[in-house]
């Protein structure tokens, strides 16, 4: 599309529907589908029954969409949507198949970009000022009612919001604009509890300063024992939460991941071999492969790349706070 830009409120509502309303070809379903791509008009019997079609596509003059998830194995790395305007031909099964076939190579390309970002030492943050001292490591707390409305926050909430990417923002009665993913995390926790689950959900996100944060959501019950609202906290992500992203980005195999975890615990070759029922020679071969994939020359550098550098980006160099994430 040439020079297309949807209104911000329309785009925000679009992503809200993606997580809050049932529809065809939702990204989370495509991510688990055998073929990770699908077109609306070839999937839906009646497109008028699609909330996405009624609330987003029709108002903007679109007649069909082709959605896809770019994944490597079972791990999704990106999503995309292609549109056709009214009067243009609908997407064909052949076109949907072509995009599905491109899922793995494009997913791998995105994964490589993530890997390059993870190892980049000098983060450029033009005009960025983050009040680290004000945030400290005290978590921000957001409480939502049963309808997903923000009802209260703690005194650190606003400072954490300043660290978050300013995308798909939803206004609130507090004068704060919440990222949509935060609301979605609360809804996921509430839906989990309603479905008999543990009522917990979490989302990892990269801050504008380059460090990883995590939103933890826990659903609550009312006096009658029925699912009510949810509480969401934002705080620095622990190494255990972020390391899997780096491990996926570097393309480590299942065995290499096991060995990397052992290395991070300080285990030597013989100890790793005994623990995993491998020969020392095999362990050394795996370590050599790990070093090559991560692009470092020592085990200590592997641990730093996967477990340390993701939490202390260059922007925070010299900060003498107390955080350990």
10-residue averages of pLDDT along the chain (325 residues): 51 76 92 95 89 91 96 92 95 96 95 75 41 61 89 92 83 86 89 90 87 92 89 89 83 91 91 95 96 90 74 34 28
Does residue 301 lie within any of the structural domains? yes
Does residue 325 lie within any of the structural domains? no
Does residue 124 lie within any of the structural domains? no
pLDDT of the residue at 149? 86
pLDDT of the residue at 309? 52
| Residue that is last in its domain, among 219, 237, 255 | 237
Q: For the chain, where are the E strands, in sequence order? A: 37-39, 62-72, 75-85, 140-144, 150-153, 169-171, 177-179, 200-206, 212-221, 227-236
Secondary structure, 3-state, 127-186: CCCCCHHHHCCCCEEEEECCCCCEEEECCCHHHHHHHCCCCCEEECCCCCEEEHHHHHHH
Instruction: Write out the residue range of the structural domain in which residue 14 sits.
Output: 8-118
| Residue that is last in its domain, among 213, 237, 261 | 237
Same domain, 251 and 231: no
pLDDT of the residue at 133? 39
Tell me how far CA of residue 74 lies from CA of 177, 293, 305, in angstroms: 33, 20, 23
Residue 155 contacts residue 161 (beta carbons within 8 Å): no
Same domain, 111 and 26: yes
Q: Look up the CATH number of the domain holding residue 139.
A: 3.30.450.20
Q: Look up the CATH number of the domain holding residue 83.
A: 3.30.450.40
Does residue 12 lie within any of the structural domains? yes
In total, how many domains does the chain have?
3
Residue 14 contacts residue 24 (beta carbons within 8 Å): no
Same domain, 233 and 246: no
Does residue 17 lie within any of the structural domains? yes
Half-sphere exposure of 144 (CA within 13 A, CB side): 24
Does residue 245 lie within any of the structural domains? yes
| Number of residues assigned to the chain | 325
275 Cβ neighbours under 8 A, 6+ residues apart: 262, 267
pLDDT of the residue at 119? 60
Q: What is the largest CA-CA distance in the chain?
A: 68
Same domain, 74 and 63: yes
């Amino acid at each position: 599309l040439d020079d297309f830009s949807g209104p911000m409120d329309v785009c925000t509502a679009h992503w809200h529907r993606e997580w809050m309303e049932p529809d065809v070809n939702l990204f989370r379903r495509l991510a688990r589908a055998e073929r990770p791509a699908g077109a609306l008009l070839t999937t839906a019997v009646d497109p008028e029954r699609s909330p996405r079609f009624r609330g987003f596509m029709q108002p903007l003059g679109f007649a069909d969409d082709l959605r896809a998830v770019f994944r490597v194995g079972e791990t999704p790395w990106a999503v995309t949507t292609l549109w056709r305007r009214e009067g243009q031909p609908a997407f064909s099964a052949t076109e949907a198949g072509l995009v599905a076939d491109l899922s793995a190579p494009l997913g791998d390309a995105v994964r490589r970009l993530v890997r390059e970002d993870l190892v980049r030492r000098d983060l450029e943050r033009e005009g960025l000022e983050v009040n680290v001292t004000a945030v400290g490591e005290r978590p921000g707390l957001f409480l939502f009612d049963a309808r997903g409305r923000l009802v209260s926050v703690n005194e650190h909430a606003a400072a954490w919001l300043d660290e978050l990417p300013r995308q798909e923002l939803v206004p609130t009665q507090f004068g704060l604009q919440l990222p949509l993913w935060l609301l979605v995390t609360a809804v996921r926790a509430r839906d989990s509890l309603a479905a008999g689950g543990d009522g917990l959900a979490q989302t990892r996100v990269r801050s504008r300063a380059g460090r990883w944060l995590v939103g933890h959501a826990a659903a609550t019950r009312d006096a009658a024992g029925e699912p009510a609202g949810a509480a969401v906290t934002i705080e620095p992500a622990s190494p255990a939460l972020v390391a899997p992203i780096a491990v996926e980005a570097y393309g480590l195999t299942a065995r290499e991941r096991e060995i990397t975890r052992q290395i991070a615990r300080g285990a030597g070759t013989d100890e790793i071999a005994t623990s995993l029922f491998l020969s020392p020679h095999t362990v050394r071969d795996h370590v050599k492969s790990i070093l090559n994939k991560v692009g470092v020359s020592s085990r200590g550098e592997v641990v730093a790349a996967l477990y340390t550098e993701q939490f202390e980006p260059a922007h925070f160099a010299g900060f003498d706070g107390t955080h350990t994430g």
